[in-house]
């Protein structure tokens, strides 16, 4: 997990932003910094020197992205399993009799 400031570089900062589908403006708004700072960090024209606030926000954003990824990955399988189990609990002969 990328929580320490020394682990953040322009590539993984940009990758995190794109993973979330955010524009540079979205990232700037979330980090409470200027759009020009995001652009400079991602372009590599400025060294990534983050304040404690930005380090904390990046760690939080990264954790949230991981949790969303897990939810997206596992939810369809869980829903499929629930659907299979739910269908096996229904006595279709009773339903048919009730409808006739």
pLDDT: which is higher, 16 or 49: 16
pTM: 0.61
Residues 49-62 have a mean pLDDT of: 88
Which residue in this structure is represented by tokens 């954003």? 61
Taking alpha carbons only, the member of 35, 27, 36 closest to residue 8 is 27
- Average pLDDT in the chain: 79
Tokens of 5: 């400031």
Quick one: pLDDT at residue 46?
Answer: 79
Residue-level pLDDT at 85? 67
pLDDT reading at 86 higher than 80: no
Supply 88's token pair: 């096996």
- Residues ≥6 apart with Cβ < 8 Å to 24: 17, 35, 38, 39, 42
């Amino acid at each position: 997990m990328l929580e320490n400031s020394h682990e953040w570089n322009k590539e993984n900062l940009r990758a995190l932003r794109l993973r979330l589908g955010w524009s540079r403006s979205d990232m700037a708004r979330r980090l409470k910094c200027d759009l020009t700072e995001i652009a400079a960090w991602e372009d590599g024209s400025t060294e990534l020197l983050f304040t404690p606030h930005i380090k904390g926000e990046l760690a939080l954003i990264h954790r949230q992205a991981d949790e969303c990824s897990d939810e997206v990955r596992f939810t369809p399988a869980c829903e499929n399993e629930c659907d299979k189990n739910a269908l096996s609990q229904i006595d279709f002969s009773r339903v048919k009799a009730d409808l006739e």
